[in-house]
Structure 1
């Protein structure tokens, strides 16, 4: 076994807590973002052995020590952004209206979705914490086509500014604004359109105040999150909805059951947005790299190319650490901190805020037949009136705006990284410039969609685009969940692989989203073809010929993910001395 510098000098002192955990002064560096540059070209290359990640279609990793572990309170940030992304989707729209329409019997699916995403999100962080590379880089090491595939999925699901339009619609209703005449020809535009354009510009401008793009996002999102959460709690208490919580036992009695006639697209969208969902989840990897988690501390950050210092390099290939006792202890400390940060910020935050908003919708609009935004604006707000209506407007506006902000951030950051990993590195592109240009183009695209497309908004409301995007997000989660599981169990060494409990959880997650994706795709194709060829029955038996093909694809993908992950775990067992042969349940 090769000892790192600390063990070579201090012998057995590698067990001392101060060698594992960062000092208070050092840990405070993580409250912003922390980048520690290393002499990259002078670092030793990791050999191709069981002790280190598999290179695949990429270069060698550089060897260095894993940073000391900060306390959880110092690394809060990535999960808070993810929670903010969830506010205007699952927390205020999808699940409140599902509970209002179908009762608390569907609440079990929300809880299952939240905990399923907990495992998905933390597994998406694993490769980055272990190597400093993004999840898109791990996909590209398999094949360059994977990042581009997910980029296309991401645009299809998030390329429509429904949340900005929804927030603007809320503001227009609250302020009583009508159409506004613009231009020399007296053209009249709905007031919400101008407000929505203004919100998109505010998002773009906010990125120009910090040299590190991530810092601006975290500051804005955390601030908006506090406003939205605090207002939601006040609304819950003011509206007298506390008694609705006595209906929660109904959810336990109906676990696994869906009400008759429930729209699969809306339900899959709810499952995807029992959290952030879809393309948004992939951002966890990039946010933790920017924050400086683990080996991401050495990898470099996306800077604003117009202001601040010189850009930092996003290194060609990532880093890895020797599996010494000290480094393995640090890894376990990092992994514990990561799970606690995500659980207490994301999971607890979702369960609390979404549940209290479901209580309000269930109390005031049982059996509603309107869209989610209309439910809040035309039914709940008038019923509460006065202060209550003002609280509804404020919660809805901040939640929708926070989500649109996170969507712009997530789409741009993910897509810039996907383009960079697929072909930008080899072409000599600069990641920071890709990010800034894509931010500008995506903002302009959102404004164009808001101004030109009127029927979907005015006829069906912004919720139309939200349902479409959410359903596509749910379908997208199936392949990348399976792919992430395979990568983490076959390409990472034993001491940083997921434990069996997490492997089983990812089997569940892949099967969960795969099952409902087949139902949605079957339903969609059946509608388009006006026949039964692609009908996918919930119980499989009774499906059409095309439906059986869809179920066969599902079984093949799921079987491959399960078999490959089992093989990876077995082949890695006992190959790293410092892993001590134990499989920790939550590792």
Structure 2
């Protein structure tokens, strides 16, 4: 990214331009090049200075105006990498998608209601794959986060998510649930392990040179271990009938036993649907990971550095960029980026998440055979009974050591999710603060990131040691149900941002819009039905 200083500002104000109509807006300014950071308008020639007849006329810089915020300069879209690739920014959604919902909440539901309940998981995960594609549309086209896009539509929408993130993600649910599993292996109190884990995450992120690069590498290794390990053990423990019922259960559409529609279980089912894949605002934060990966127009934006290397942070532009959607060559590159992210969504995100949850569902059914009392224990309020039963199924496969391995898998999942969540929360809050809080730019994005990170860690430690929650599973249930509200809300915002702020040639089609609208109704409808029908939001 070119770091040359901006040219002096022109005395002529730019012409106004709307977001509708032409592919490239009429708004123009002079600029020195079509690549690198945006250049401010060049100074007009003085009437006292003779013109150089041999000098070439300056190029005109074109802008795309979206909303009332600063227009986006037109830049060249980088060439897309090959569609088939290993994990990139999707690793964050996979790390969060292959989380406590798949390993803990859904196996618990399978033990109570049978594998047929998994049709709700299929719907939830498939909806999230489409959401992922539509979130990436705005991020790759502009280099901006979806939060910035929301501000272009109506700034209070962005502040709503700023506050929602604090409300939902200050609770250390994932790490505490993983620490609870680790306690079963070592005997170390889960609170102590969770506190140590949060401090470790903070130190690692503070020392990292480029936070995104470190996380992508660490999470790729952890996910590989998890996917291979659970698949192997599930094959050892389960049998063909378990696999068959698991797969057929995904297509038992409409299956909802009477017990599922009670105040005791319906709110938990709603939360589990939200946890079918990455929950809550994690899809919104994915737009920031795409930017740091350099996907699409994100290539024009610097990466966030750890606090130790904050002095090396390049200046962040005050807005994103747009490419020329009237240029066939640029549109061909755009289609290449869409193929790249579609592979991520369908093969890596949907496929890996589904594979892991199939493994855990097989384990849950095997656990029910090994420990026939587990279902009644869960109904009686023993939240951790499903984990104990699945550990027993692991042990029954050949060695008590496998039961220990199972709990280590759960602990690894909790660590994966915590790495992703702590980074994502800090990244999202810092992005909104940097761009929209007066005076925040003087701190720099990396320092703001660190402030939110350590604030989150400090509050999490206080909650774990002195908070009112009655254990890690209770924290997780609260976080899961609140996530459903955030997901319904961001689907509405996503419809507005993509259909109002983007040029017409790259807006979503009618099918994508219909699916996102259905997702909004699905999440919000289930949440408010639970609230008004049962008067409860969590168990």
TM interval, shorter chain, is 0.7 to 0.9
- 2:197 maps to which residue? 199
Q: 1:223 to 1:75 in 2, by over 3 A?
A: closer
**Alignment match of 1:158 (pick from 169, 185, 200):** 169
Q: 1:242 to 1:402 in 2, by over 3 A?
A: farther
- 1:260 maps to which residue? 258
Select between 37-46 and 359-368 the one with higher mean Cα deviation. Answer: 37-46
Separation of aligned partners in 1, 2:135 and 2:437: 22
Q: 1:246 to 1:57 in 2, by over 3 A?
A: same
Q: TM-score, normalised by structure 2?
A: 0.82
Higher relative helix content: 1
C-alpha contact (below 8 Å) 2:207/2:306 kept by paired residues:
no
- 1:356 maps to which residue? 359
What is the number of equivalent residue pairs in this alignment? 470
- 1:437 maps to which residue? 451
Separation of aligned partners in 1, 2:431 and 2:156: 13
The unaligned stretches of length 5 or more in structure 1 are: 1-35, 178-190, 529-587
C-alpha contact (below 8 Å) 1:105/1:254 kept by paired residues:
yes
Q: 1:527 to 1:94 in 2, by over 3 A?
A: closer
**Alignment match of 1:119 (pick from 125, 130, 134):** 130
Select between 286-295 and 238-247 the one with higher mean Cα deviation. Answer: 238-247
1:62 aligns with 2:81: no
**Alignment match of 1:98 (pick from 95, 109, 112):** 109
C-alpha contact (below 8 Å) 1:167/1:397 kept by paired residues:
yes
Select between 384-393 and 196-205 the one with higher mean Cα deviation. Answer: 384-393
C-alpha contact (below 8 Å) 2:66/2:502 kept by paired residues:
no
- 2:375 maps to which residue? 367
- 2:29 maps to which residue? none
Separation of aligned partners in 1, 2:294 and 2:137: 13
C-alpha contact (below 8 Å) 1:140/1:422 kept by paired residues:
no
**Alignment match of 2:279 (pick from 265, 277, 280):** 277
**Alignment match of 2:221 (pick from 215, 220, 223):** 223
**Alignment match of 1:504 (pick from 508, 514, 536):** 514
Residue 256 of structure 1 deviates from its aligned partner by 2.4
- 2:319 maps to which residue? 317
| CA-to-aligned-CA distance 1:151-178 (integer Å, 9 cap, x gap) | 222222221112222222211211234x
Separation of aligned partners in 2, 1:297 and 1:254: 44
Separation of aligned partners in 2, 1:424 and 1:206: 30
Separation of aligned partners in 1, 2:268 and 2:536: 15
Q: 1:358 to 1:425 in 2, by over 3 A?
A: farther
C-alpha contact (below 8 Å) 1:140/1:421 kept by paired residues:
no
Residue 521 of structure 1 deviates from its aligned partner by 3.0
**Alignment match of 2:502 (pick from 489, 492, 495):** 492
Q: TM-score, normalised by structure 1?
A: 0.76
Separation of aligned partners in 2, 1:153 and 1:306: 29
Residue 377 of structure 1 deviates from its aligned partner by 4.1
Q: 1:364 to 1:147 in 2, by over 3 A?
A: same
- 1:133 maps to which residue? 144
| CA-to-aligned-CA distance 1:530-554 (integer Å, 9 cap, x gap) | xxxxxxxxxxxxxxxxxxxxxxxxx
Separation of aligned partners in 2, 1:397 and 1:427: 38
Residue 290 of structure 1 deviates from its aligned partner by 0.6
- 1:347 maps to which residue? 350
**Alignment match of 1:421 (pick from 432, 435, 442):** 435
**Alignment partner of 1:319: what SS?**
coil
- 1:410 maps to which residue? 424
